[in-house]
Structure 1
Amino acid sequence: MTAAALPDLPVTRLVVWRHGRTEWNAAGRFQGQMDPPLDDVGRAQAAHAAPHLMAGLDGQDAVVLSSDLVRAADTARVLTDLMGVDLRLDERLREHGMGSWEGLTRDEIAERFPEQYADWLAGRSVRGRGGEETAAVAERVLAALRELPPADVAVVVTHGGTSGRLIERLLELGPDHRRVFGPLGNCAWSELARQSGRWRLLRHNSSAGPLPEGVAPRRTAQDTGTAVLPGTGRHPGPDPAQDADAVG
């Protein structure tokens, strides 16, 4: 991939925000394009994160585009209600289709499809499960972003796998460099900007930090991600055994 192949988008700054937690996230269950809602923790995460994310927009003209799956759309509405802007929904921002894996836990997949699971853990192409090819995920998201109106910044509310594929595409990372960056935690976000003809990752896995005491009924390793750049909210990272790709 060369610089000439970089997408020409109507914005020069992107904030890629993953939805809040669902019960399936907490259980390590692959969601793909199935549609479980936010759980109580996920709703609390969205309410906690939205003011921090809005403050980081620095008053710039912003558009908010979200996957139409309910876990993403409900997360996005917390932000758009706060900002007083319209929410744009687009099915092209849905999670990476996982075919026969959707609805299963990691342990179930490892037992039923051990070779596929080993390929997935290693970042290789997974054959035989159905769903989508990796490259197709990023291209459908970019097609949606190209149709946005001109703005200073776009907040893209999406999913763990889809956010990873989009970031990799913008940074020109090929198949051999998948998972250079860890997956976004629930309600964490990354920021990219186009500078000197290239997209740069300015922040990754930023967050509002832990939920205030007493807000969340319980927490798991899937609640948060790890901030890897100075100036981002830091909190304990995901369980290394789970740290391959987010599950929706």
Structure 2
Amino acid sequence: MTRLIVWRHGNTDWNAKHRVQGQTDVSLNELGHQQAVEAAALLVRFKPGAIVSSDLRRAADTAAALSAVTGLEVSTDERLRERYFGLWEGLTMTEVAERRPDEYARWTRGEDVIGGDVETLDDLGKRVGSALIDAAGLVPSGGTVVVATHGAGARSGLGHLLGWPREQLRTWRALQNCHWVELTHDTSRGWQLAAYNVGVFSDRPVPPPV
């Protein structure tokens, strides 16, 4: 049974200010680096055989914390980048609502944004989902791969991987900074969701120390 861990990056100053990051290359802040180190101390217990990351710095630097405790090199894949939010990037969500109300209304309803050059959810899901499948293929059956990526990208990519409709994905709470999703795969059942939003301050289980 193959295990896939989809890990959101640590905190950034734009996260803290509720700014839309998208594919703008924002770095981790001090808290984000600390979160990555603390999360890596838990993720190492899964004994990963490979680490793959978005090439944006906030994800790559998060992955580097796990690399430091496993000795594994991090491979990057630009398909794991966050959703491209076009003209929204750099704005707070309050500013988006004020300046682009029609687009914001569609976003809050879970619909594709018309205007603003925002990537469609279907394109996002296919892009990230294909990268997740390729990442899972880097280890033999029974191995574990950790993928460092982004919140919106993770949601849509996982939905594509699991074959879940958009309406079902809207029932998921947002993936917190430096928290992760665990999936397993076997030939009889395919992909299954094992755990969601797991992290240092979570009450969900992680493997015991070895």
Q: TM-score, normalised by structure 2?
A: 0.89
Partner of 2:205: 231
Tell me if the contact between 1:20 and 1:186 (Cα under 8 Å) persists in the aligned partners: yes
Could you say what the CA RMSD is over the residues aligned between the two structures, in angstroms?
1.7
1:208 paired residue number = 200
Which residue in 1 is equivalent to 2:9? 19
SS in 1 for 2:94: helix
Query: Corresponding residue for 1:69?
Result: 56
**1:150 counterpart residue number:** 139
1:34 to 14, 24, 28: 24
Q: Are residues 1:198 and 2:190 paired?
A: yes
In structure 2, give the amino acid aligned to 1:134: L
For 2:178, which of 180, 183, 187 is the aligned residue? 187
Give, in whole Å, the separation in 1 of the partners of 2:153 and 2:199.
18
Q: Report how far residue 194 of structure 1 moved.
A: 1.6
Shift of 1:52: 0.7
CA distance in structure 2 between the aligned counterparts of 1:202 and 1:146, rounded to whole angstroms: 17
Q: CA deviation at 1:89?
A: 0.8
Per-residue Cα deviation, 1:139-161 (whole angstroms, up to 9, x for no partner): 22233344442331211100010
**Residue of 82, 88, 91 corresponding to 1:101:** 88
179-188 or 66-75, larger mean C-alpha shift: 179-188
C-alpha offsets along residues 144-197 of structure 1, whole Å, 9 cap, x if unaligned?
344442331211100010011112122211133232211210000010112433
Instruction: Give unmatched runs, 5+ long, in structure 2.
Output: none
Report the structure, 1 or 2, having the larger helix content: 2
Shift of 1:31: 0.3
SS at 1:183 equivalent = coil
Q: Which amino acid aligns with 2:58?
A: R
Q: Match of 2:23, as an amino acid?
A: Q
What code does the residue aligned with 2:184 have? A
Q: Secondary structure at the match of 1:194?
A: strand
| Contact kept in structure 2, 1:123 and 1:178, CA below 8 Å | no
1:122: Cα distance to partner? 1.7
Aligned length: 201
Equivalence for 1:213 = none
Are residues 1:137 and 2:124 paired?
A: yes
Q: In the superposition, relative to structure 1, how do residues 143 and 22 fare at CA in structure 2: closer, same or farther (>3 Å)? A: same
1:91 equivalent in alignment to 2:91: no
Letter in 2 for 1:43: H
| Structure 1 stretches of 4+ moved >4 Å | none
1:120 to 101, 107, 113: 107
Structure 2: distance between partners of 1:169 and 1:98: 19
